[in-house]
Each structure stands twice: as C-alpha cells, then as structure tokens.
Structure 1
Amino acid sequence: MREQIHTLGLQKIGIGSDRQLDAVIDITVNNTRLMYEYSPAVFQENVSFFEATEQKQDGPRQCPELWAPYVCGDIRNCQVTATHGELLDEPHAALIGRVITKAITDLWNNEVDAVS
C-alpha cells in the first residue's frame, strides 16, 4: 500500500510526510478491523423505512426487506415519490416529519397506556 501511495505522490493526496502516511495507514487498518469485528444488536422496536420510489435505473433498489434481519419489530414502509437525494427537500421532508411525529406520538401513547 505504501508504494502505491508514493506512486500517486503524497502531496497530491494531501499527505505531507511519511509520518502522516504511517498514521493514515494505521488508522485505515484499525478502522477496517473494527468494521469487520463489530456486529450490531438486533433493533428491538418498530422501524419506519422511507423508500424513495424515483430511483435511478443504474443503482440498486433500496427496500425495507433488506433490514428484516436487523429489526425485531415491524418495518413500516413509507413510499415517497422522490429520489434518494430529494428526501430531505420540501415537500418530502414535511411528509417524513409527519410520519415520524405520528410514530413518536403513538409510541408515547402506548407507553402511557401501559403505565396506567
């Protein structure tokens, strides 16, 4: 890896010295190790999944079923007529905000009812 980076030129990629290069390599190796060793727990609640229905043809479709192994509760799919990059633009962000507000309100009401 070191030789490949030197071939590119340290200055071209924003690394000023061999010491900085060593630090970047060490951090990359460590982060890669952490990524492969980490296994998140299964989420024990319901999930609201926002699916952008205007997908580009060259990218894979993101679907809620992909999350099933990681979620113990229900996965509620909310289809939004937008591309992924437009989801936080108006009017889509307002729709997403309303769905999240309702989910939080329902959760809160269920917890209050359980205590009563």
Structure 2
Amino acid sequence: MSGSGGGFGGGASDDAPIACERLIIETAISSPKEAVIKNLSINDVLQVELEQLGATSVVALTYQGERAGGITHAQTNRLRECIHAGTKYVATVISKSDGQVRVRIKPV
C-alpha cells in the first residue's frame, strides 16, 4: 500500500505528473537581472512566459515588460508542458534578500 492518494481520478502513482491547474512551484529567480529585481517588492506579480533560446524553450519571468530572470526547478519541464498546453501562470515575490528573490509560481 502507498501513502495518501487524494488525487483527482484516483489511481495516481507517485510519479504521475501534477495536473497543470494544481502545479505550484516555489523557487529562487535564476540569472536575476539586477536592473529589474532591484525594483521588486514582496507580493509583486511577475509574468511567467516561455522564451526560445536556440532549440530550447526556457521559463522566463518578466516584470513590467522587462526580463527579471528565469527559473530552475525539478518541475520546470512540467511547467513548460503546461504553458505549451495553454495554462497561464504568474509568479509572486515571497521573499527578497541580498539580490536573492524567491517566488511562488501558480496557475491563474
């Protein structure tokens, strides 16, 4: 027997992908752009977008039209799949310290 299931549709295994409308990620902004992040405050909302870099699409965070940085997280690939499938996400600043900005990404 496994632990709590509680997922929609039942029978979900531990390695089943998280439903796009339930995917929430907390992570630090990677490769932060100082000119943008210096203007960020707690509870500011950033746009979550896909940006094409060569043959790869990366998850980029933008604030007032300017790129704030990207993200690297275990669920980044799933987030990219969900965005491709049409789910929209925003990132809310949850902490900021010495140039390190943490965000909570969730569907809207």
Same fold flag (TM > 0.5): no
Q: Which protein has the bigger helix share?
A: 1
Higher relative contact order (CA 8 A, sep 6+): 2
TM-score, length-scaled by structure 1: 0.21
* Structure label with greater radius of gyration: 1
